[in-house]
Amino acid sequence: MTATSFIHRFEPASRAGSPPLLLLHGTGGDENDLLGLGQMISPGSALLSPRGRVLEHGMPRFFRRLAEGVFDEEDVRRRALELGDFVADARQRHGITAPVAVGFSNGANIAAALLLLKPDVLSGAILLRAMVPLTDPPKAELDGKPVLLLSGQADPIVPATNSARLAALLSQAGASVTHKVLPAGHQLTQTDVALARDWIGNVAAEAA
């Protein structure tokens, strides 16, 4: 899986010590969608932003679903491994360390799958409105990887029980999970941006 197999954008780092970010858009987004968010939460970071390769009614996604909230789990696994190969190739090509995934909705779900299926690909993750991606995930060893999970209290797509289950699943796999439920729906808010910025600043400080 080469870097050219995903349509993508790459913005090189402009500040030393800022962790590279893997930006993963939601349904109907593209490789440009989260560049502004990445710049807001971690100014100066290298940004790697692929476009999902699955189309649903013409809208890009990172994997197939059978209905809203019902995933084609065989496709989730296959697409997560493809994405992991793309990231590995892009790391070599651009000379970056393992990125922190910043995923929204469908992008957050593929990031969670990547954590469970190929833990070495990411150094951590910010999961915005994520769901459990696999009903029977493999046993992953996340060895303290930092994960920020931001859920919406009034999210019509992600039930509170599901996001709580994802937090527990990642914690049981060894991740250092911070889970916050915000007074919000499925869309992102300024609070999401502020929390993500503070969290990634702490992660970068601890890694320095």
pLDDT of residue 17: 86
Query: CA-to-CA distance for 76 and 113, rounded, in angstroms?
Result: 7
Is residue 104's pLDDT more than 60?
Answer: yes
Domain that holds residue 23: 3-207
pLDDT of residue 132: 97
Number of structural domains in the chain: 1
Query: CA-to-CA distance for 6 and 48, rounded, in angstroms?
Result: 11
Tell me the pLDDT of the chain averaged across its residues: 95
- Helix (H) / strand (E) containing 172: helix 160-172
pLDDT of residue 197: 98
What average pLDDT does range 102-116 have in this prediction? 98
H-assigned helices in 11-141: 35-41, 73-94, 106-117
pLDDT of residue 208: 74
What average pLDDT does range 68-84 have in this prediction? 94
What is the identity of the amino acid at 131? M
CATH of the domain at 121: 3.40.50.1820
In terms of C-beta distances under 8 Å and separation of at least 24 residues, what long-range contacts does 12-15 make, across chains too? 12/46, 12/94, 13/44, 13/45, 13/46, 13/96, 14/44, 15/43, 15/44, 15/45
Q: Beta strand pairing status for 70-71 and 65-67?
A: antiparallel
Tokens of 177: 């999970």
Query: CA-to-CA distance for 37 and 87, rounded, in angstroms?
Result: 20
Is residue 120's pLDDT more than 90?
Answer: yes
How far the first Cα of the chain sits from its last, in Å, is 31
pLDDT of residue 142: 96
Is residue 3's pLDDT more than 70?
Answer: no
pTM: 0.96
Q: Of 118, 161, 110, 158, which Cα lies nearest the Cα of 142?
A: 118
What average pLDDT does range 157-165 have in this prediction? 95
- Residue positions annotated with a catalytic role: 105, 155, 186
pLDDT of residue 4: 53
